[in-house]
C-alpha cells in the first residue's frame, strides 16, 4: 500500500493518550521475579548487551542456556563464564541470522531438541545507517531484526505446540513508532524510497509486532504464550557496524543518556518466568508494563499480507 493511503488509513486511529502512556511508561522500573528456574531458555544474540545480561540472569537462577550467536570465540568465553560463575549448563549454536540457510538450520536444530524449550527470546538485532543487502537479496535490518525471528518461530511452531507450555518473547522496541504510517510491503528493500536507518529499524520492529498477530492465532489455547517487549533505553552494541560519526555520537551522547542492559534482563526474566504473566499472551510490554500498541501494529489485514510475503522471503514451504 502506498504511503499516502496508509496515512489516510492510520491517522484517524491515533490517540494522544497512547503517546503519553508510552512516555510515562518509559520512566518506570521493571517488575522483578525472584523465583528460580531450571528450564531451558534459548536466546539469540547472547554475547553482548541485552542478550549477555539476560543469559547471566537466567543462569544465575539455575536455567540451562542455549545461545544462538555469530562469534565462536565470544560464545566459548560466555560458556566458560557462566559455568565458572553459576555452574550453569550452557551450549551454543553458531549462526549468522542475516542468512536464510542459517535461519533454517537454527530452526531445524531447535526443532530436533529432545527437551522442551521453556523460553525462547528473540534478541538478536542490528541498526544500520546505510543500506546493506544480504546474500539472499533482502535488506539487512529487515532480515536480522524480523525475518530471522519469523522463520525460526515458524519452524518451531509444531514442537512448541506439542510441548503444551512455553513462552516466546520478542525483544522489540518503541522505535516501531518510527514506522508511523505502517509497512511498505511493496518496497521492503527501500528501492523506491531514500534509505533511513532509523525508519528501516522501525519497520523491522513493526513487522515483528504484526507477525505476532498471526502467530497468536496459531498458538491460541495451546499453552504457548507469545509477547513483545521494549527493553528500555539501554546501552548496547547495536550500531557498531556503522561509521565513525555514528559510533562517536552513540558513545558520547546516546550511551551517556542510557541505562545498563541489566534492567532489560530483569524484564526478560520476569516475562519468561513469573507466574503473574504466565497466561498473558499477544501483548506488548514496555519493560514489564502492559502498553497498547500504536494503530499500525494492530492492523490484521496488513499482518496477513506480511505473513504471506514472509513465507516467500523465508523460503518456507507451508506443506
Q: Which residue has the cell 498471526?
A: 214
DSSP string computed for 17-65: HHHHHHHHHTTPPPP-------SEEEEES-SSHHHHHHHHHHHHTT-EE
Residues in a beta bridge with 120 = 42, 168
Q: Which of 58, 92, 146, 201 is catalytic?
A: 201
Q: Which residue has the cell 552494541?
A: 237
The answer to whether 280 touches 11, Cβ cutoff 8 Å, is no
Length of the chain in residues, anyone? 319
Q: Which residue has the cell 538485532?
A: 125
Biggest distance spanned by C-alpha atoms of the chain: 57
Q: What is the Cα Rg of the chain in Å?
A: 18
Instruction: Name 106's Cβ contacts closer than 8 Å, sequence gap at least 6.
Output: 68, 93, 95, 97, 152
Instruction: Name 92's Cβ contacts closer than 8 Å, sequence gap at least 6.
Output: 46, 66, 67, 68, 69, 75, 78, 79
> Long-range contacts of range 255-259, CB-CB < 8 Å, 24 or more positions apart?
257/233, 258/233, 258/234, 259/232, 259/233, 259/234, 259/235
Q: Which three cell numbers stand for residue 151?
A: 522463520
Q: Reply yes or no on whether 127 is catalytic.
A: no
CA distance 216 to 168: 11
CA distance 22 to 232: 11
The catalytic site residues sit at: 201
Amino acid at each position: 500500500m502506498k504511503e499516502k493511503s496508509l496515512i489516510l488509513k492510520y491517522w484517524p486511529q491515533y490517540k494522544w493518550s497512547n503517546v503519553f502512556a508510552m512516555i510515562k511508561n518509559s520512566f518506570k522500573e521493571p517488575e522483578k521475579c525472584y523465583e528460580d528456574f531450571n528450564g531451558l531458555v534459548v536466546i539469540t544474540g547472547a554475547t553482548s548487551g541485552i542478550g549477555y545480561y539476560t543469559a547471566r540472569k537466567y543462569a544465575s537462577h539455575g536455567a540451562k542456556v542455549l545461545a544462538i550467536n555469530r562469534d565462536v570465540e565470544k560464545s566459548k568465553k560466555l560458556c566458560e563464564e557462566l559455568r565458572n560463575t553459576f555452574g550453569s549448563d550452557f551450549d551454543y549454536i553458531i549462526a549468522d541470522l542475516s542468512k536464510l540457510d542459517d535461519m533454517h538450520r537454527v530452526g531445524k536444530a531447535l526443532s530436533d531438541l529432545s527437551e522442551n524449550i521453556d523460553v525462547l527470546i528473540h534478541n538478536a538485532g542490528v541498526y544500520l545507517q546505510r543500506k546493506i543487502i544480504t546474500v539472499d537479496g533482502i535488506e539487512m535490518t529487515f532480515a536480522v531484526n524480523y525475518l530471522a525471528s519469523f522463520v525460526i518461530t515458524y519452524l518451531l511452531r509444531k514442537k512448541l505446540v506439542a510441548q503444551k507450555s512455553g513462552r516466546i518473547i520478542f525483544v522489540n522496541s518503541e522505535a516501531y513508532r518510527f514506522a508511523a504510517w505502517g509497512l511498505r510491503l511493496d518496497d521492503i528493500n527501500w528501492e523506491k524510497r531514500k534509505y533511513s536507518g532509523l525508519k528501516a529499524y522501525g519497520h523491522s520492529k513493526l513487522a515483528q509486532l504484526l507477525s505476532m498477530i498471526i502467530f497468536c492465532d496459531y498458538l491460541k489455547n495451546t499453552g504457548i504464550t507469545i509477547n513483545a517487549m521494549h527493553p528500555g533505553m539501554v546501552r548496547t552494541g547495536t550500531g557498531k557496524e556503522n561509521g565513525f560519526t555514528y559510533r562517536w555520537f552513540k558513545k558520547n551522547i546516546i550511551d551517556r543518556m542510557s541505562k545498563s542492559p541489566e534492567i532489560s534482563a530483569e524484564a526478560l526474566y520476569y516475562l519468561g518466568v513469573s507466574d503473574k504473566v504466565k497466561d498473558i499472551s499477544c501483548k506488548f510490554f514496555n519493560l514489564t508494563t502492559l502498553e497498547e500498541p500504536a494503530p499500525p501494529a494492530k492492523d490484521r489485514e496488513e499482518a496477513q499480507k506480511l505473513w504471506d510475503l514472509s513465507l516467500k522471503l523465508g523460503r518456507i514451504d507451508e506443506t
